[in-house]
A and B are shown apart, each in its own frame.
Chain A
């Protein structure tokens, strides 16, 4: 439908528009980019308003023929899970652009073009209902991100950006082989359609539901998809690109990387791995959950010893995303719902932490914790915002992080698929470690004596920075206090997925869902 197409293509149109503007008109470029992303955000509300959360299926479906020979179409649509992430993308984009006004000083035109292309591709990843289209968006993201880190990044940006590029490509090309195999299997072996091939997600979903891939092959296909997603998440031990990319990226680049890009991995795990390869998911769930738990603890421990604030936040991402993956592979409604809400939470709280670190970096041109101390006296408002983001990240009840972490841990604890308490017990330690490294950093930076003369005259946050931080705080508190606004959106889609998983494993469906015939009708066209 038109709303979804607008949300997808408006940023791309904006990017083309910006290309026509003279590069010397920096202000015009900045405000045009901001206006476009704000417009996209506003339009995305009407998506929320028209979304029927009782319906677990895909909605707003657009199906345009594209490449007939491979039955690849321009197929897009959203269900509860992807809607939240589309909203998150639309929300983060204007924040990113507004924060770029001060963070990006050179080659502004190219920069804003890249950011808008990035927004286009990120939205595309979350709404693709065709695996080929999904792959295209997935790969397009590499190009702007490669340039954003490489041109506007820090000292070691070349190393970081090449590493980011190669890591992602390694995963995604194996996924491409799996996509080709899957298309050929479903189109040729299962359905015998005209093309002998298909990448239509809903058709594949339906076909594999009735006739799953033989387990020995399914395991390989699962691994190919999982590798790509786990590198993106990043799951331990594939995380090594992340601290480098985060540290070297410019502030807005880190924000968008943490807030949205990493979610593409976890989203892919739910959308493709759990849904299309349930038997292999049961088989690999203990391994992946173990890696997730290791990542939680490892990320937290490494974060504890960092001297660079940005690197600390980057490692905390490794830890937090571990909770998401653990929740997803618990394959319970609580776990997956928690995982989804935790994706949003992490986008908000870690995104905000990166913004705050970026603000202090702009003032002092260093992120070394040892350089600071007693900042609270000179920057009181900054300190308040920092504490909110930090407590959200730690998981203080009343703020958003608590909801997500609690649900993922609860889901993992109760999961009949994992059937083991130890995951939860070890993962819970991650919450404690998070409190340690974040509070310790906070204490060293904000409190104590303000001994460094360079810190005496730091300016507190400006109006523009208020405008960046306040919306994030609103959502952080909103999700913390009344999460069901957001949980409700994805609830039925999650239940439908969990029903499917239970049915495959235990032969019964635990949740009753509102009856719907829409999905079947859509498969036909």
Chain B
């Protein structure tokens, strides 16, 4: 039990800090304290998660599953710990970048920081879930705090619209998800993912309900990652929400939903020699592959037509959901590891790009048109260089981490005989080049606009530095990340 508690430390610490943060918000009414407390909280979580990473996992193997106080509902160590670190890190970057931005654009409220903490706890729970119920709870904790975060600028119509839209459509998607979970329970007789897998392998499942259930879960999760054809909410929500928060939602939120994808589909699509199951597995894989292909093409084509950079990045985040789905469609360990690698790279580059936007944004979303970026390299050379790195990485140009993530996913697709999916991905990448390098073109090749933009960094310097350093380091030495991720699946 002692060891189990050690493994639970990240969850325990984040819960502790969430609860205390809420209490302190109400009692102390001190913004600086809330800010610092949430930062301390996330750093402690990163520390405890790193600790679970290094304590020997063999000891866990010796525990009998029945003896666990969590009744095998929670997954420990491995990718879960890894994502604890990633999500807490993303939360930390968001909080550091947010303060100066929300103070300037609206006003700083204590709850903002607690909300980020709650979101991170939901994301972490998704990574730790070994049971569909825990997974559902995690997704809901995350989503509900996102709905609130989206409407944080409560005087702004756009922000309210984003929040309401997100809430209505998100709840609708949750309905699909729950229904799917219920059907899957009906089909296989369990909510425990490992038992579901063994029942599937043993052939103890209802074929129709299994397909229906997986299909509904697929729909529910596709909503959460904003995959075609359930992506319509994404551009409006990402555009209307506070910029740093939408960076957080569209990067870490998407990564968390992708982890849910991995956890569910890894277990319900096992590689076995059961002819019925193989047929179903291929069917579901093919559906996901088609969704991935449509998502990539649609996201990139629509992004091409945007003139507002924030909206463009929102559409590009739809396209990136498509790239990530390649790894799920491949349904092999290379694919899952690829999703993991790409998620980290994607969080760094997407969040980084949104932080850059937040630095130059003024008066509710002005200064975010493409033409506002003209000549940015003259007035703010460092900011322009950072943005250029994020764009090149998003476009998948080496030597940045985004490229290697794509390579990983392409390899997984080819190994799973999805060469056509790779070709679609490549074609959509070519399309995306045009608008990514379009931003660089504005920043470097055009003359500056008459009124120079002001840049207000505040603490955003730190997350920007982390993002750019991460992209370069993981791009040049991808093994640092890939070798760690390799043993998870």
Taking Cβ atoms with an 8 Å cutoff, the residues of A that contact B are: 66-70, 132, 135-136, 139-140, 142-143, 146-147, 150-151, 157-158, 161-162, 165-166, 169-170, 173-174, 176-177, 180-181, 183-184, 188, 196-197
**Inter-subunit contact B441/A66 (CB<8 Å):** no
Q: Does B368 contact A (CB under 8 A)?
A: no
Cβ contacts under 8 Å, A136 to chain B: 398-399, 403
Q: A66-B479, A174-B426 are in contact. Are A147 and B444 (CB under 8 A)?
A: yes
Chain B 413-431: CB-based contact to A (< 8 A → 1; otherwise 0): 0110001001100100110
6 contacts between A and B (CB under 8 A): A140-B397, A140-B399, A161-B441, A166-B430, A173-B429, A181-B414
Inter-chain contact B445/A69, CB cutoff 8 Å: no
Q: A140-B398, A176-B410, A180-B414 are in contact. List 8 more A-B contacts (CB 8 A).
A: A67-B478, A135-B398, A146-B440, A150-B444, A165-B433, A166-B430, A177-B422, A188-B415
Q: Are B430 and A67 in contact (CB under 8 A)?
A: no
Residue B455 at the A interface, CB < 8 A?
A: no
Q: How far is the CA of A151 from the CA of B442 in the complex (A)?
A: 11
**Pairwise interchain contact B423-A177, C-beta atoms closer than 8 A:** yes
Nearest B residue (CB) for A188: B415
State which of B414, B441, B483 has its C-beta within 8 Å of the C-beta of A150: B441
Chain B contact surface mostly? helix
For the complex formed, measure the closest distance between the CB of B332 and the CB atoms of chain A, giving whole angstroms: 10
B426 touching A177 by the CB < 8 A rule? yes
**Contact status B397-A139, CB under 8 Å:** yes
Separation of A176 and B414 alpha carbons in the complex (Å): 12
B residues apposed to A, CB below 8 Å: 334, 337, 392, 397-399, 403, 407, 410-411, 414-415, 419, 422-423, 426, 429-430, 433-434, 437-438, 440-441, 444-445, 477-479, 482-483, 486
**Docked CA distance A521–B459 (Å):** 55
Chain A binding surface, main DSSP class: helix
> CB-CB < 8 A to B477: which residues of A?
66
Q: Determine the chain B residues whose CB is within 8 A of the CB of A150 once the complex forms.
A: 441, 444-445
A145 to chain B, nearest CB (A): 12
Task: Evaluate contact between B414 and A184: CB separation under 8 angstroms.
Answer: yes
* A146 neighbours in B (Cβ, 8 Å): 437, 440
**From residue A9, how far is it (CB to closest CB) to chain B in Å?**
13
Shortest Cβ distance from residue B474 to the other chain A in the assembled complex, whole angstroms = 11
A69 and B486 contact, CB distance less than 8 A:
yes
CB distance from A220 to the nearest CB of B (A): 9
Residues on B with beta carbons closer than 8 Å to the beta carbon of A184:
411, 414-415
B426 in contact with A166 (CB, 8 Å): no
In the complex, are the beta carbons of A162 and B398 less than 8 A apart? no
Q: Cα distance A150–B444 when bound, in Å?
A: 8
The chain A residue sitting closest to B410, CB to CB, is A180
Among B392, B411, B426, B430, the residue within 8 A (CB) of A70 is B411
CA distance A183 to B430 in the complex (A): 22
CB distance from A427 to the nearest CB of B (A): 33
| Closest residue of A by beta carbon distance from B482 | A69
CB closest residue in chain A, given B381: A110
**Are the CB atoms of A143 and B397 closer together than 8 Å?**
yes
- Asked whether B433 lies within 8 Å of A139 as measured between CB atoms, the reply is no
Contact B426 A151 (CB under 8 A): no
Q: How far is the CB of B412 from chain A (nearest CB, A)?
A: 10
